[in-house]
């Protein structure tokens, strides 16, 4: 089983992978319509909105949670290392 490098979702079924390509390291939810991986800002915004919608946090708290989670993911580690 692979884990998405951009959001951490377990990818167990072929349909979980971007474009159903099991060679990809990111999931269907982190892919753009053309199959490429979303940018940092696209993923950050999507995670914030998902946290607000599903967990009821306000924008500030959702942003803190999203960024905390993203710091632990391989796709974004260099982005956060540049900020420090």
Number of domains observed in the structure of the chain:
1
- Give percent of the chain above pLDDT 90: 89
**The pLDDT value given to residue 82:** 62
DSSP annotation of 2 reads: E
**Max alpha carbon distance in the chain (Å)?**
37
Position 64 pLDDT exceeds 80: yes
The reported pTM is 0.85
The CB-side HSE value for 27 (13 A sphere, CA atoms) comes to 16
Domain membership of residue 18 as a residue range = 2-83
Position 66 pLDDT exceeds 80: yes
**The pLDDT value given to residue 77:** 87
* 21 Cβ neighbours under 8 A, 6+ residues apart: 35
- The mean pLDDT of 63-79, rounded to a whole number, is 94
């Amino acid at each position: 089983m692979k884990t998405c490098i951009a959001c951490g979702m377990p990818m167990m079924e072929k349909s979980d992978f971007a474009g159903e390509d099991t060679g990809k390291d990111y999931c269907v939810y982190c892919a753009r319509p053309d199959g490429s991986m979303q940018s940092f800002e696209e993923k950050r915004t999507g995670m914030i909105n998902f946290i607000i919608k599903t967990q009821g946090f306000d924008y500030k708290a959702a942003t803190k949670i999203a960024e905390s989670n993203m710091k632990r993911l391989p796709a974004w580690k260099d982005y956060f290392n540049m900020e420090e």
